Chains A and B, each alone.
Chain A
Amino acid sequence: MLSAALGALRRSRRPPPAIAAGEIVTRAPSMVVPLLFRGFDKLDGLSVLDLGAASSAKVAFFSNRKCRIEFVDLLNELDPALLSADAEDSDLCSALGPLLAGQAERTVDIILCWDVLNFLPLPALAIFHDLLSPQLQPNARLHCFGVRHSDTPIPWSEHAFDTDDCITTRAKDGAPWPSYAHTPLELNKHLASLQVARTILLQDARLELLLMPKTSAVELER
Protein backbone atom coordinates (compact mmCIF):
# COMPACT_ATOMS: atom_id res chain seq x y z
CA MET A 1 0.00 0.00 0.00
CA LEU A 2 2.75 2.37 1.11
CA SER A 3 5.04 1.40 -1.77
CA ALA A 4 2.20 1.92 -4.25
CA ALA A 5 1.61 5.37 -2.81
CA LEU A 6 5.34 6.18 -2.99
CA GLY A 7 5.43 4.94 -6.57
CA ALA A 8 2.53 7.18 -7.48
CA LEU A 9 4.27 10.11 -5.78
CA ARG A 10 7.49 9.46 -7.73
CA ARG A 11 5.59 9.23 -10.98
CA SER A 12 3.87 12.52 -10.24
CA ARG A 13 7.29 14.20 -9.80
CA ARG A 14 8.59 13.13 -13.19
CA PRO A 15 9.18 16.12 -15.49
CA PRO A 16 6.42 16.64 -18.02
CA PRO A 17 7.09 15.05 -21.43
CA ALA A 18 8.81 17.34 -23.93
CA ILE A 19 6.37 19.07 -26.24
CA ALA A 20 7.34 19.48 -29.87
CA ALA A 21 7.18 22.93 -31.43
CA GLY A 22 3.76 23.63 -32.85
CA GLU A 23 1.92 21.21 -30.59
CA ILE A 24 -0.98 22.67 -28.65
CA VAL A 25 -0.11 23.09 -24.97
CA THR A 26 -3.33 24.66 -23.75
CA ARG A 27 -6.63 25.92 -25.06
CA ALA A 28 -8.04 28.26 -22.45
CA PRO A 29 -11.02 30.61 -22.27
CA SER A 30 -10.30 34.33 -22.30
CA MET A 31 -12.45 37.05 -20.76
CA VAL A 32 -10.28 39.75 -22.31
CA VAL A 33 -10.59 38.86 -26.00
CA PRO A 34 -14.25 39.99 -26.30
CA LEU A 35 -13.24 43.38 -24.87
CA LEU A 36 -10.74 43.94 -27.67
CA PHE A 37 -13.54 44.79 -30.06
CA ARG A 38 -15.89 46.74 -27.78
CA GLY A 39 -16.34 50.48 -28.08
CA PHE A 40 -15.11 50.94 -31.63
CA ASP A 41 -17.42 52.97 -33.87
CA LYS A 42 -16.88 50.53 -36.73
CA LEU A 43 -15.63 46.96 -36.40
CA ASP A 44 -14.83 46.44 -40.08
CA GLY A 45 -11.48 47.71 -41.19
CA LEU A 46 -9.79 47.78 -37.79
CA SER A 47 -6.02 47.93 -37.98
CA VAL A 48 -4.33 45.16 -35.98
CA LEU A 49 -0.62 44.82 -35.27
CA ASP A 50 0.34 41.31 -34.20
CA LEU A 51 3.82 41.02 -32.70
CA GLY A 52 3.85 37.24 -33.10
CA ALA A 53 4.23 34.92 -36.06
CA ALA A 54 1.52 34.70 -38.72
CA SER A 55 -0.60 31.57 -38.42
CA SER A 56 -3.64 30.05 -40.05
CA ALA A 57 -5.67 30.38 -36.84
CA LYS A 58 -4.97 34.10 -36.53
CA VAL A 59 -5.85 34.84 -40.14
CA ALA A 60 -9.03 32.78 -39.87
CA PHE A 61 -10.02 34.62 -36.68
CA PHE A 62 -9.60 38.07 -38.17
CA SER A 63 -11.00 37.22 -41.59
CA ASN A 64 -14.48 37.38 -40.06
CA ARG A 65 -13.88 40.98 -39.09
CA LYS A 66 -12.46 42.36 -42.34
CA CYS A 67 -9.43 43.67 -40.46
CA ARG A 68 -6.12 44.86 -41.72
CA ILE A 69 -3.61 42.77 -39.80
CA GLU A 70 0.14 43.23 -39.90
CA PHE A 71 2.47 40.57 -38.55
CA VAL A 72 5.81 41.57 -37.06
CA ASP A 73 7.35 38.50 -35.43
CA LEU A 74 9.46 40.49 -32.99
CA LEU A 75 11.01 37.48 -31.23
CA ASN A 76 12.13 36.16 -34.60
CA GLU A 77 13.25 39.43 -36.19
CA LEU A 78 15.05 41.08 -33.30
CA ASP A 79 18.60 40.13 -32.30
CA PRO A 80 18.41 39.11 -28.61
CA ALA A 81 21.95 40.44 -28.11
CA LEU A 82 20.48 43.95 -28.42
CA LEU A 83 18.53 43.34 -25.21
CA SER A 84 21.53 42.39 -23.10
CA ALA A 85 22.57 44.72 -20.29
CA ASP A 86 25.74 45.86 -22.09
CA ALA A 87 24.03 46.61 -25.42
CA GLU A 88 23.58 50.22 -26.54
CA ASP A 89 20.05 51.61 -26.30
CA SER A 90 20.62 53.45 -29.56
CA ASP A 91 21.32 50.14 -31.33
CA LEU A 92 18.04 48.75 -30.01
CA CYS A 93 16.25 51.88 -31.27
CA SER A 94 17.76 51.44 -34.71
CA ALA A 95 16.68 47.80 -34.84
CA LEU A 96 13.20 48.24 -33.38
CA GLY A 97 12.36 51.38 -35.37
CA PRO A 98 12.10 49.79 -38.84
CA LEU A 99 10.35 46.72 -37.41
CA LEU A 100 7.61 48.80 -35.82
CA ALA A 101 7.44 51.35 -38.64
CA GLY A 102 4.76 49.49 -40.58
CA GLN A 103 3.10 51.10 -43.54
CA ALA A 104 3.14 54.83 -44.14
CA GLU A 105 0.24 56.66 -42.48
CA ARG A 106 -0.64 53.59 -40.47
CA THR A 107 -2.49 53.96 -37.21
CA VAL A 108 -3.20 50.98 -35.00
CA ASP A 109 -6.43 50.02 -33.24
CA ILE A 110 -5.33 46.75 -31.65
CA ILE A 111 -1.85 45.54 -30.71
CA LEU A 112 -1.40 41.89 -29.85
CA CYS A 113 1.78 41.50 -27.82
CA TRP A 114 1.13 38.01 -26.43
CA ASP A 115 4.27 37.27 -24.34
CA VAL A 116 6.62 39.55 -26.28
CA LEU A 117 6.80 42.23 -23.59
CA ASN A 118 7.93 39.61 -21.08
CA PHE A 119 11.07 39.10 -23.16
CA LEU A 120 11.96 42.82 -23.20
CA PRO A 121 13.90 44.31 -20.27
CA LEU A 122 12.47 47.50 -18.75
CA PRO A 123 14.60 49.98 -20.75
CA ALA A 124 13.60 48.21 -23.97
CA LEU A 125 9.98 48.37 -22.88
CA ALA A 126 10.18 52.17 -22.68
CA ILE A 127 11.81 52.40 -26.11
CA PHE A 128 9.17 50.04 -27.53
CA HIS A 129 6.48 52.34 -26.13
CA ASP A 130 8.01 55.51 -27.50
CA LEU A 131 8.28 54.05 -30.99
CA LEU A 132 4.75 52.69 -31.03
CA SER A 133 2.67 55.20 -29.09
CA PRO A 134 2.45 57.83 -31.89
CA GLN A 135 0.79 55.19 -34.08
CA LEU A 136 -1.97 54.35 -31.61
CA GLN A 137 -5.55 55.41 -32.25
CA PRO A 138 -7.21 57.25 -29.32
CA ASN A 139 -9.22 54.17 -28.31
CA ALA A 140 -6.55 51.58 -29.11
CA ARG A 141 -6.21 48.32 -27.18
CA LEU A 142 -3.05 46.45 -26.29
CA HIS A 143 -3.40 42.80 -25.36
CA CYS A 144 -0.56 41.05 -23.54
CA PHE A 145 0.33 38.59 -20.83
CA GLY A 146 1.89 39.69 -17.56
CA VAL A 147 2.56 38.32 -14.11
CA ARG A 148 1.68 39.10 -10.52
CA HIS A 149 5.18 38.31 -9.30
CA SER A 150 8.34 38.97 -11.29
CA ASP A 151 9.75 35.50 -10.60
CA THR A 152 6.91 33.77 -12.46
CA PRO A 153 8.38 31.68 -15.32
CA ILE A 154 7.45 32.73 -18.86
CA PRO A 155 6.96 29.80 -21.23
CA TRP A 156 8.46 29.93 -24.73
CA SER A 157 5.17 29.69 -26.60
CA GLU A 158 3.09 31.01 -29.45
CA HIS A 159 -0.50 32.08 -28.98
CA ALA A 160 -3.53 32.60 -31.18
CA PHE A 161 -7.20 33.32 -30.77
CA ASP A 162 -9.12 30.12 -31.28
CA THR A 163 -12.65 31.43 -31.05
CA ASP A 164 -14.12 34.70 -29.83
CA ASP A 165 -13.32 33.84 -26.24
CA CYS A 166 -10.54 31.25 -26.35
CA ILE A 167 -6.74 31.39 -26.72
CA THR A 168 -4.64 28.51 -27.98
CA THR A 169 -1.05 28.17 -26.79
CA ARG A 170 1.49 26.13 -28.76
CA ALA A 171 5.13 25.30 -28.06
CA LYS A 172 7.43 27.69 -29.96
CA ASP A 173 10.50 26.45 -31.77
CA GLY A 174 13.99 27.89 -31.29
CA ALA A 175 16.01 28.57 -28.17
CA PRO A 176 14.09 30.48 -25.49
CA TRP A 177 15.16 34.06 -24.79
CA PRO A 178 15.88 35.29 -21.26
CA SER A 179 12.61 36.52 -19.80
CA TYR A 180 11.81 39.65 -17.78
CA ALA A 181 8.29 39.00 -16.50
CA HIS A 182 6.45 42.29 -16.01
CA THR A 183 3.82 43.14 -13.44
CA PRO A 184 0.91 45.47 -14.27
CA LEU A 185 2.63 48.12 -12.14
CA GLU A 186 5.77 47.96 -14.32
CA LEU A 187 3.71 48.07 -17.50
CA ASN A 188 1.80 51.11 -16.27
CA LYS A 189 5.07 52.85 -15.50
CA HIS A 190 7.08 52.01 -18.59
CA LEU A 191 4.29 52.06 -21.19
CA ALA A 192 3.69 55.60 -20.04
CA SER A 193 0.74 56.64 -22.22
CA LEU A 194 -1.17 53.41 -21.53
CA GLN A 195 -2.82 51.98 -18.47
CA VAL A 196 -4.00 48.52 -17.55
CA ALA A 197 -7.76 48.50 -18.08
CA ARG A 198 -8.49 44.85 -17.34
CA THR A 199 -6.59 42.08 -15.56
CA ILE A 200 -7.57 38.42 -15.53
CA LEU A 201 -5.72 35.84 -13.46
CA LEU A 202 -4.99 32.72 -15.50
CA GLN A 203 -4.69 29.13 -14.32
CA ASP A 204 -0.89 29.17 -14.57
CA ALA A 205 -0.72 32.16 -12.18
CA ARG A 206 0.03 34.55 -15.03
CA LEU A 207 -2.16 37.50 -16.00
CA GLU A 208 -4.00 38.31 -19.20
CA LEU A 209 -4.01 42.08 -19.59
CA LEU A 210 -5.79 44.68 -21.65
CA LEU A 211 -4.19 48.13 -21.80
CA MET A 212 -5.72 51.29 -23.22
CA PRO A 213 -4.50 54.86 -23.67
CA LYS A 214 -4.92 56.92 -20.52
CA THR A 215 -6.82 59.44 -22.62
CA SER A 216 -9.28 56.90 -24.03
CA ALA A 217 -12.92 57.85 -23.66
CA VAL A 218 -14.13 54.24 -23.85
CA GLU A 219 -15.48 52.69 -20.66
CA LEU A 220 -15.23 48.90 -20.69
CA GLU A 221 -18.12 46.98 -19.20
CA ARG A 222 -17.54 45.38 -15.83
Chain B
Amino acid sequence: MFDKSADANGPAPVSLVNQPASATSAVIGASICVKGEISGSENLVINGQVEGSVNLQSNDLLIGQTGQINANLTASQVQINGEVHGDITGIEKVTVSSEGRVQGNIVAPRVTLEDGAKFKGSIDMDPSSVAASTPTPTPASAADQAESVKQALRDVRKKSAANGPAPSAVDAASAARG
Protein backbone atom coordinates (compact mmCIF):
# COMPACT_ATOMS: atom_id res chain seq x y z
CA MET B 1 0.00 0.00 0.00
CA PHE B 2 2.73 2.44 0.93
CA ASP B 3 5.92 3.00 -0.97
CA LYS B 4 8.24 0.87 1.13
CA SER B 5 11.25 1.83 -0.91
CA ALA B 6 11.00 5.46 0.17
CA ASP B 7 13.60 6.55 2.71
CA ALA B 8 12.52 7.94 6.07
CA ASN B 9 13.92 11.34 5.22
CA GLY B 10 13.11 11.17 1.54
CA PRO B 11 10.06 12.36 -0.33
CA ALA B 12 6.72 12.23 1.44
CA PRO B 13 4.82 8.97 1.04
CA VAL B 14 2.06 8.99 -1.52
CA SER B 15 -1.33 9.73 0.03
CA LEU B 16 -3.84 7.01 -0.70
CA VAL B 17 -6.81 8.72 0.86
CA ASN B 18 -8.50 9.62 -2.39
CA GLN B 19 -7.52 6.49 -4.25
CA PRO B 20 -9.98 3.65 -4.61
CA ALA B 21 -9.43 0.75 -2.26
CA SER B 22 -7.57 -2.08 -3.90
CA ALA B 23 -8.30 -5.73 -3.40
CA THR B 24 -5.70 -5.86 -0.66
CA SER B 25 -6.77 -2.86 1.36
CA ALA B 26 -9.88 -2.35 3.41
CA VAL B 27 -11.45 1.07 3.84
CA ILE B 28 -13.45 2.48 6.72
CA GLY B 29 -15.42 5.27 5.09
CA ALA B 30 -15.75 8.82 6.33
CA SER B 31 -19.27 8.28 7.70
CA ILE B 32 -18.41 5.04 9.54
CA CYS B 33 -17.87 4.97 13.31
CA VAL B 34 -16.25 1.90 14.85
CA LYS B 35 -15.93 1.14 18.56
CA GLY B 36 -13.83 -1.87 19.53
CA GLU B 37 -10.79 -3.85 18.46
CA ILE B 38 -9.75 -3.98 14.80
CA SER B 39 -7.19 -6.55 13.67
CA GLY B 40 -6.46 -8.29 10.40
CA SER B 41 -3.98 -9.25 7.73
CA GLU B 42 -4.60 -6.66 5.04
CA ASN B 43 -3.82 -3.00 4.66
CA LEU B 44 -6.36 -0.59 6.09
CA VAL B 45 -7.42 2.97 5.27
CA ILE B 46 -9.46 4.75 7.94
CA ASN B 47 -11.37 7.83 6.85
CA GLY B 48 -14.01 7.59 9.59
CA GLN B 49 -13.99 7.43 13.37
CA VAL B 50 -12.44 4.61 15.39
CA GLU B 51 -12.43 4.20 19.15
CA GLY B 52 -10.62 1.23 20.70
CA SER B 53 -7.53 -0.33 19.12
CA VAL B 54 -6.18 -1.20 15.68
CA ASN B 55 -3.67 -4.02 15.32
CA LEU B 56 -2.22 -4.86 11.88
CA GLN B 57 1.16 -6.33 12.78
CA SER B 58 2.38 -7.05 9.26
CA ASN B 59 0.25 -4.65 7.22
CA ASP B 60 0.05 -0.93 6.65
CA LEU B 61 -2.36 1.59 8.09
CA LEU B 62 -3.35 4.94 6.64
CA ILE B 63 -5.41 7.44 8.60
CA GLY B 64 -7.05 9.71 6.02
CA GLN B 65 -7.61 13.43 6.38
CA THR B 66 -11.12 12.88 7.70
CA GLY B 67 -10.04 10.08 10.03
CA GLN B 68 -10.58 10.66 13.75
CA ILE B 69 -8.95 8.04 15.91
CA ASN B 70 -9.16 7.60 19.64
CA ALA B 71 -7.21 4.37 19.87
CA ASN B 72 -3.80 2.76 20.09
CA LEU B 73 -2.51 1.81 16.65
CA THR B 74 -0.06 -0.90 15.63
CA ALA B 75 0.96 -1.61 12.02
CA SER B 76 3.98 -2.19 9.86
CA GLN B 77 3.88 1.30 8.37
CA VAL B 78 1.56 3.96 9.69
CA GLN B 79 0.75 7.21 7.92
CA ILE B 80 -1.32 9.84 9.71
CA ASN B 81 -3.12 12.43 7.61
CA GLY B 82 -5.97 12.94 10.10
CA GLU B 83 -6.31 13.16 13.87
CA VAL B 84 -5.10 10.55 16.35
CA HIS B 85 -5.38 10.46 20.13
CA GLY B 86 -3.46 7.40 21.27
CA ASP B 87 -0.16 5.60 21.08
CA ILE B 88 1.20 4.55 17.69
CA THR B 89 3.57 1.65 17.10
CA GLY B 90 5.14 1.31 13.68
CA ILE B 91 7.08 -1.90 13.12
CA GLU B 92 8.88 -0.22 10.21
CA LYS B 93 7.92 3.43 10.08
CA VAL B 94 5.49 6.14 11.19
CA THR B 95 4.81 9.27 9.13
CA VAL B 96 2.77 12.22 10.35
CA SER B 97 1.92 14.29 7.30
CA SER B 98 1.56 18.05 7.19
CA GLU B 99 -2.20 17.75 7.85
CA GLY B 100 -1.75 15.17 10.60
CA ARG B 101 -2.48 15.84 14.27
CA VAL B 102 -1.24 13.37 16.87
CA GLN B 103 -1.49 13.39 20.63
CA GLY B 104 0.22 10.32 22.03
CA ASN B 105 3.47 8.41 21.98
CA ILE B 106 5.10 7.02 18.86
CA VAL B 107 7.38 3.98 18.86
CA ALA B 108 9.06 3.15 15.55
CA PRO B 109 12.60 2.77 14.19
CA ARG B 110 11.88 5.49 11.61
CA VAL B 111 9.66 8.48 12.26
CA THR B 112 8.96 11.38 9.92
CA LEU B 113 7.14 14.50 11.02
CA GLU B 114 6.36 16.65 8.01
CA ASP B 115 6.35 20.45 8.18
CA GLY B 116 3.02 21.62 9.53
CA ALA B 117 2.25 18.40 11.41
CA LYS B 118 0.98 18.85 14.96
CA PHE B 119 2.47 16.47 17.51
CA LYS B 120 2.30 16.28 21.26
CA GLY B 121 3.94 13.38 23.07
CA SER B 122 7.09 11.34 22.84
CA ILE B 123 8.88 9.57 20.02
CA ASP B 124 10.95 6.46 20.68
CA MET B 125 13.15 5.58 17.73
CA ASP B 126 14.94 2.76 19.52
CA PRO B 127 12.16 0.24 20.12
CA SER B 128 14.64 -2.50 21.01
CA SER B 129 15.77 -0.52 24.00
CA VAL B 130 12.23 -0.40 25.30
CA ALA B 131 11.93 -4.16 25.47
CA ALA B 132 15.48 -4.77 26.63
CA SER B 133 15.80 -1.84 28.98
CA THR B 134 17.00 -2.57 32.44
CA PRO B 135 15.07 -1.07 35.29
CA THR B 136 16.29 2.36 36.30
CA PRO B 137 15.79 4.04 39.63
CA THR B 138 12.27 5.43 39.71
CA PRO B 139 12.21 9.16 40.26
CA ALA B 140 9.42 10.50 42.37
CA SER B 141 6.49 11.41 40.15
CA ALA B 142 6.24 15.08 39.24
CA ALA B 143 2.91 15.25 41.02
CA ASP B 144 4.65 14.05 44.19
CA GLN B 145 7.45 16.52 43.59
CA ALA B 146 4.97 19.34 43.06
CA GLU B 147 3.24 18.35 46.31
CA SER B 148 6.57 18.33 48.15
CA VAL B 149 7.46 21.80 46.83
CA LYS B 150 3.99 23.05 47.79
CA GLN B 151 4.32 21.52 51.27
CA ALA B 152 7.70 23.20 51.67
CA LEU B 153 6.13 26.51 50.65
CA ARG B 154 3.46 26.07 53.30
CA ASP B 155 6.02 25.13 55.98
CA VAL B 156 8.29 28.07 55.20
CA ARG B 157 5.31 30.43 55.18
CA LYS B 158 4.17 29.12 58.57
CA LYS B 159 7.64 29.68 60.02
CA SER B 160 7.86 33.13 58.45
CA ALA B 161 4.46 34.13 59.72
CA ALA B 162 5.77 33.42 63.18
CA ASN B 163 9.26 34.85 62.69
CA GLY B 164 9.32 37.57 60.06
CA PRO B 165 8.67 38.59 56.44
CA ALA B 166 7.08 36.29 53.83
CA PRO B 167 9.48 33.88 52.11
CA SER B 168 10.30 33.82 48.44
CA ALA B 169 9.58 30.82 46.28
CA VAL B 170 13.31 30.30 46.00
CA ASP B 171 13.61 29.92 49.79
CA ALA B 172 10.75 27.47 49.75
CA ALA B 173 12.23 25.58 46.85
CA SER B 174 15.53 25.33 48.72
CA ALA B 175 13.64 24.04 51.72
CA ALA B 176 11.94 21.45 49.52
CA ARG B 177 15.33 20.32 48.28
CA GLY B 178 16.64 20.13 51.81
A contact set with B: CB distance below 8 Å: 44-45, 54-56, 58-60, 62-63, 65-71, 73, 89-90, 93-94, 96-107, 122-124, 126-127, 129-131, 134-135, 190, 192
Q: B139–A126 contact, CB under 8 A? A: no
Are A68 and B124 in contact, with the CB atoms below 8 A? yes
Q: In this assembly, does B28 line the interface, its C-beta being within 8 Å of a C-beta of chain A? A: no
> A-B contact count, CB below 8 Å?
132
Q: Which of B149-173 contact A (CB under 8 A)?
A: 149-150, 153-154, 168-170, 172-173
Q: What residues of B have a CB within 8 angstroms of the CB of A102 in the complex?
A: 122, 142
Cβ of B169 and Cβ of A89 under 8 Å apart? yes
Give chain B nearest CB distance to A10 CB in angstroms: 38
User: For chain B, which range describes its interface: under 10, 10 to 19, 20 to 34, or 35 or more residues?
Assistant: 35 or more
Find out whether the CB atom of A130 lies under 8 angstroms from the CB atom of B115: no
Query: Would you call B146 an interface residue if the criterion is a C-beta within 8 Å of the partner chain's C-beta atoms?
Result: yes
Chain B residues whose CB sits within 8 angstroms of the CB of A106 once the complex forms? 139
Interface residues of B (CB under 8 A from A): 8-9, 105, 109-115, 117-126, 129, 133, 135-143, 145-147, 149-150, 153-154, 168-170, 172-174, 176-177
With A71-B120, A71-B122, A89-B153 in contact, is A134–B145 under 8 Å at CB? Answer: yes
Q: How far is the CA of A128 from the CA of B123 in the complex (A)?
A: 23
Q: Is the CB of B111 within 8 A of A59?
A: yes
